[in-house]
Amino acid sequence: MRFAAFNSRIHFTPMTLRSTAALALVGWYLMLAPRTAGRFLLGSADVASAQEPSSQSSASQEFVATEDTSVKTPHGDPFKVPKDWRLQSRADFVLLNAPEGDALVAIVHAGAAANANDAIKRAWAQVRPGADYAIRFDVPIGPLNGWKGRRQLTYETSPNEKRTRVAIAEQYHGDWSVILFDGSNATAEKRGSQLGVVLLSLIPKGYVRETFAGRAAHPLDAERIAILKKFVTDGMVRLGVPGVGLAFIDGGKVVYAGGLGVRQLGNNEPVDENTLFIAASNTKAMSTLLMAHEVDAGRMRWDERATDVYPSFKLGDEATTRKVLMKYLVCACTGMPREDMEWLFSSSKATPRDSIESLARMRPTTTFGSLFQYSNVMVSTGGYLAASLEDPKRELGIAYDDAMQRIIFEPLGMRNTTFSFEQALRGNHASPHDTDADGIVHIADMGFNRTVIPLRPAGGMWTSSGDLIRYVQMELANGKLPNGQQLVSETNLLERRKPQVLIADKMYYGMGLMTDDTMGIQVIHHGGDLLGYHSDMMWLPAYNVGAVILTNAGRGVLLRAPLLRRLEEVLFDGETLAAEQLEASAAANDAEILAWRKRLVIPADTHAAAGLRHSYRNAALGVIEVKHEGKRVSFLFPQWHSEVATRKNDDRTVSFVTIDPGVDGFEFVVGGTQNDPILTLRDEQHEYVFSGKPGIQHMTARPDTIGTTTQ
Residue 699's pLDDT is what? 56
What DSSP string describes 494-563? HHTTS--EEEETTEEE-SS-EEE-TTSS-EEEEEEEETTEEEEEEEEGGGTEEEEEEESSGGGHHHHHHH
Q: How high is the pLDDT of residue 698?
A: 63
- Tell me the pLDDT tens digit for each residue of 447-476: 999 999 999 999 999 999 999 999 999 999
Q: How large is the average pLDDT for residues 685-694? A: 95
pLDDT at site 50: 31
Query: Distance from first CA to last CA of the chain, Å, rounded?
Result: 25
Mean pLDDT of 2-30: 38
pLDDT at 347: 86
Q: Which residues pair with 7 in a beta bridge?
A: none
pLDDT, tens only, 536-556: 999 999 999 999 999 999 999
pLDDT higher than threshold 90 for residue 2:
no
Is-contact 556 241, C-beta < 8 A?
yes
Which residues does 58 contact at the CB level (< 8 Å), separation at least 6?
71, 72, 73, 74, 76, 89
**How far is the C-alpha of 426 from the C-alpha of 428, rounded, in Å?**
7
> Which CATH class, in words, describes the domain spanning 3-201?
mainly beta
User: Cβ atoms within 10 A of the Cβ of 132, count?
Assistant: 7
pLDDT above 50 for 670: yes
Sheet holding 507-509, edge to edge: 253-261, 243-250, 545-551, 533-540, 523-530, 514-516, 507-509, 501-504
The CA-CA-CA angle for residues 302, 307, 308, to 5°, reads 65
Which residues of the chain form CATH 2.60.120.1690? Answer: 3-201
Average pLDDT on 75-83 reads 97
Mean pLDDT of 368-392: 97
Length of the chain: 711
Burial class (CB in 10 A: 0-12, 13-18, 19+), 311: exposed
Which residues are paired to 106 by β-bridges?
A: 95, 180
Number of other CB atoms surrounding residue 54 within 10 Å: 14
Domain with CATH 2.40.128 in the chain: 601-691
CB 35 within 8 A of CB 23: no
Q: Which residues pair with 180 in a beta bridge?
A: 106, 167
Residue 694 has a pLDDT of 85
Report the share of the chain in percent with pLDDT over 70. 89
Q: Which residues contact 374 (CB under 8 A, 6 or more apart)?
A: 13, 14, 332, 338
Most confident region among 9-23, 56-70, 671-685 by mean pLDDT? 671-685
Q: Does domain 601-691 have CATH number 3.30.160?
A: no
Mean pLDDT of the chain: 91
- pLDDT (tens digit per residue) in 201-227: 999 999 999 999 999 999 999 999 999
Q: In this structure, which amino acid lies at residue 468? A: L
Cβ neighbours of residue 308 closer than 8 Å, sequence gap 6 or more: none
